[in-house]
Chains A and B, each alone.
Chain A
């Protein structure tokens, strides 16, 4: 399966297993979603389970909250993460705090799916990576898979979770892994082991990172698209890097991070999102707190530039292999 099919399978299974699960979003029903993630599900489960909504993200999130406190388990799609901001007040002020504000009497099992990230010539309105904004809000979980297998297992876990989860889908990875080089022919998921996805129900836990490759020289902490970019850069340099795919940013698997950096003594953090106050800064702080006395070199971040995601010069903006290589060289200097 590719990642779209894996997500579709997760929602199909959950609609079948739990009558409280409903899908909602712009063009997700009759049309099947702009990326086809909900293709066929309205036909299969009906208009009352798979709802087309107006183009009003604030309203989508608000009605999902209302439905969730009244016993449903909505999975809302925001068509692009770039369009999530009209729902931001609902997410921060209502969704994240229902459980707290009602002293545990109400809770909001809402999952918000939204495609994120660049690499698709989408310009500033279809390429953003706003995950760090949501990790800063207490009360919501933030997930970003990097492959079809994890995407399905994590989405099922997110839907079953009784608290709100924002589920970011790196859209450049929908159809295949991407190593950061746009000139290479596209590779389908069918050639990748993580494209082998179980047809049935299974879960991947939130808060558990995956060591994609174990190594001894340096730890690369990353998630989403950058997992493959970082792996390709390390392989091209022929270094023994340990690559950690966080999968879930909140909750964060601090143990796996700290154990790895204590072992290698060197750390590079990579994400597509902008650098300043980005999620990389949080990881960097945690590594510093947990691993200070084991650090052989200053921690490096590889990120997007602190500008809007551009329409032109996309590959100068995107943190490709060259920038990962530069950071790796810098942390591997003798120290």
Chain B
């Protein structure tokens, strides 16, 4: 009889620890390889961790709500036949050792005999070109989770692109449920994460809030026209994709708002790509799924992507990759939008754009009182890095686009 110590795996980019959400096995239980034994929470998604071997659970570390550092012992198994992980008994039904991608992937996903884990984890240094490292970094893809199909297992460009594609994410399970139904609700999991991130953002970032009203009469008529002429099954447009499109135009002139602040290094990282976080209400709380490389998408693609991501976030199907890596966030409460709000910045971003409710109001327009559709934009900026002047100018630029919606779709002319 030998023992096998299973350590908390690195579940993704920069993860230092993970919170135990629920145990599906207790000491004394006999488990088979690949059986889900514990659910843990990384910074935004729940991950089901399968048993790496078959055997009897001797001990487990960490009660629900507790954090366990990556690399520290999580479960001790007693192996039934003294075999090591690589030649574990064949009791478990045969299945691929790699995550099951929904698109075809190169055949050499994982070297034979390696341990099955929640992600394709790699020993040692990632082998790939600097250009691929940049692509992965910009898309928020953790290269240690990408399988290489090139010579010697090297990660080639097509591997990175497959990992960036929204459908090729990790097999991260959905349900963080199974919480006890009592009136006393422990602040753990997603709620704890939201709480921590909110207080951290509010505590550390001097928020500069700016509210401006936007005449969306023309935007509304464009929206109604597009909805009326949309192809079947395209779904109807809200203001959100239109605002995202306009925002991408504006960020070309205000790159200081498409920034992630790396506090540890004291560096502001400007991004060429625009990954737009979409604040989304879900039964579990606020999630911010990310429309990746929004600058490369058209209006209908953005609308479809927002709908798809919101649905996945609401049904707990969003992968970790779909929930991290935004460079700027847009928040909209739709019909509950109110007249003004003070959104909290989704750190380490430096700006968040809030949409308030669009309502018809009497306004003075060209010398007379007319009914116009007005929507306020309530935005917050990290005043350490975005000056009030620039923030205001950025929102004014956004207002210009939204009030003259045709200009959103006209290539910008570089002036000055």
Interface on A for B, CB 8 Å cutoff? 265, 292-297, 333-335
Q: Which residues on A sit within 8 Å (CB–CB) of B154?
A: 335
The answer, yes or no, to whether B59 is at the interface (CB within 8 Å) is no
How distant is the Cα of A334 from the Cα of B129 in the complex, in angstroms? 10
List of B residues within 8 angstroms of A297 by Cβ:
129
Instruction: Tell whether B130 is near chain A: CB-to-CB under 8 Å.
Output: yes
Report how far A333 CA is from B158 CA in the complex, Å.
13
In the assembled complex, the Cα of A293 lies from the Cα of B269 at a distance in Å of: 15
A/B interface sample: 16 pairs, CB < 8 A: A265-B131, A294-B130, A294-B131, A295-B129, A295-B130, A295-B131, A296-B131, A296-B132, A296-B157, A334-B150, A334-B157, A335-B128, A335-B132, A335-B150, A335-B154, A335-B157
Contacts of A335 in B (CB 8 A): 128-129, 131-132, 150, 154, 156-157
Q: In the complex, A335→B158 CA distance in Å?
A: 8
* Most chain B beta-carbon contacts within 10 A, residue among A292, A294, A334, A335: A335
Contact of B151 with A by CB under 8 A: yes
Per the CB 8 Å criterion, the residue count for chain B at the interface is 13
Residues of B near A334 (CB, < 8 A) are 150, 156-158
Query: Counting CB contacts under 8 A, is B133 at the interface?
Result: yes
Among residues of A, the one whose C-beta sits closest to the C-beta of B149 is: A334
Chain B residues with CB under 8 Å of chain A are: 128-134, 150-151, 154, 156-158
Chain A, Cβ-Cβ closest to B155: A335
Given contacts A334-B156, A335-B157, contact A293 B150 (CB under 8 A): no
Give the docked Cα–Cα distance between A265 and B150 (Å): 18
| CB neighbours of A293 from chain B (8 A) | 130-131, 133-134
Q: Is the interface of A mostly helix, strand, loop or mixed?
A: loop
CB-nearest residue of chain A to B137: A293
A297 CA / B157 CA spacing, docked (Å):
11
Evaluate contact between B157 and A292: CB separation under 8 angstroms. Answer: no
Given A334-B156, A334-B157, A335-B157, also A296-B151 (CB < 8 A): no
Starting from the known contacts A334-B150, A335-B128, A335-B129, 10 additional A-B residue pairs (CB-CB under 8 Å) come to A265-B131, A293-B130, A294-B134, A296-B132, A297-B129, A333-B151, A334-B157, A334-B158, A335-B156, A335-B157
**Majority secondary structure, B binding face:** helix
List residues of chain A with CB within 8 A of the CB of B158.
Answer: 334
Q: How far is the CA of A292 from the CA of B134 in the complex (A)?
A: 10
A31 to chain B, nearest CB (A): 55
User: Which residues of chain A are within 8 angstroms of B132 by Cβ–Cβ distance?
Assistant: 296, 335
Instruction: Look across to chain A and name the residue whose beta carbon is closest to the beta carbon of B128.
Output: A335
Q: Distance (Å) between the CB of B395 and the closest chain A CB? A: 32
What chain A residues lie within 8 Å of B151 (beta carbons)?
333
The 10 closest A-B pairs by CB, nearest first: A293-B134, A295-B130, A296-B131, A335-B129, A296-B129, A292-B130, A334-B156, A293-B130, A265-B131, A294-B131
A334 to B128 alpha-carbon distance, docked (Å): 11
A328 to B132, CA, bound (A): 20
A287 to chain B, nearest CB (A): 11
Which residues of B sit under 8 angstroms from A333, Cβ to Cβ? 151
Residue from A265, A292, A294, A296 whose CB has the most chain B CB atoms within 10 Å: A296
User: What distance in Å separates the Cβ of B212 from its nearest Cβ neighbour in chain A?
Assistant: 37
Q: How far is the CB of B160 from chain A (nearest CB, A)?
A: 10
With a 10 A CB-CB cut-off, give which of B131, B134, B151, B156 has the most chain A CB atoms. Answer: B131
In the complex, A334 Cα to B152 Cα: how many Å? 12
Residues of B with C-beta under 8 A to A295: 129-131
A145 to B138, CA, bound (A): 42
Closest to A262 in B: B131
In the complex, what's the smallest C-beta–C-beta distance from B106 to chain A, in angstroms?
A: 11
- Complex formed: what's the CA distance from A265 to B151 in Å? 19
What is the CA–CA distance of A333 and B150 in the complex, to the nearest angstrom?
9
- CB-based nearest B residue for A297: B129
Inter-chain CA distance A294–B272, complex, in Å, is 14
The residues of A that contact B131 with a CB separation of less than 8 Å are 265, 293-296, 335
Report the Cα distance A305→B244, complex, angstroms.
Answer: 57
Q: Which residue of A lies closest to B158 (CB)?
A: A334
- Residues of B with C-beta under 8 A to A294: 130-131, 134
Minimum CB–CB distance from B81 to chain A (whole Å) comes to 43
Distance in Å from the Cβ of B125 to the closest Cβ of chain A? 15
- Bound Cα distance A294, B131 (Å): 4
Q: Shortest CB–CB separation between residue B10 and chain A, in angstroms?
A: 24
Closest to B133 in A: A293
Q: Nearest-CB distance from B289 to chain A (Å)?
A: 27
Tell me, rounded to whole Å, the shortest Cβ–Cβ distance linking B134 to chain A: 4
Alpha-carbon distance between A98 and B132 when the two chains are bound, in angstroms: 48
Cα A335 to Cα B130 in complex, Å, equals 10
Which residues on A sit within 8 Å (CB–CB) of B157?
Answer: 296, 334-335
Complex-state Cα separation, A60 to B19, whole angstroms: 80
Least distance between A321 CB and chain B CB atoms (Å): 25
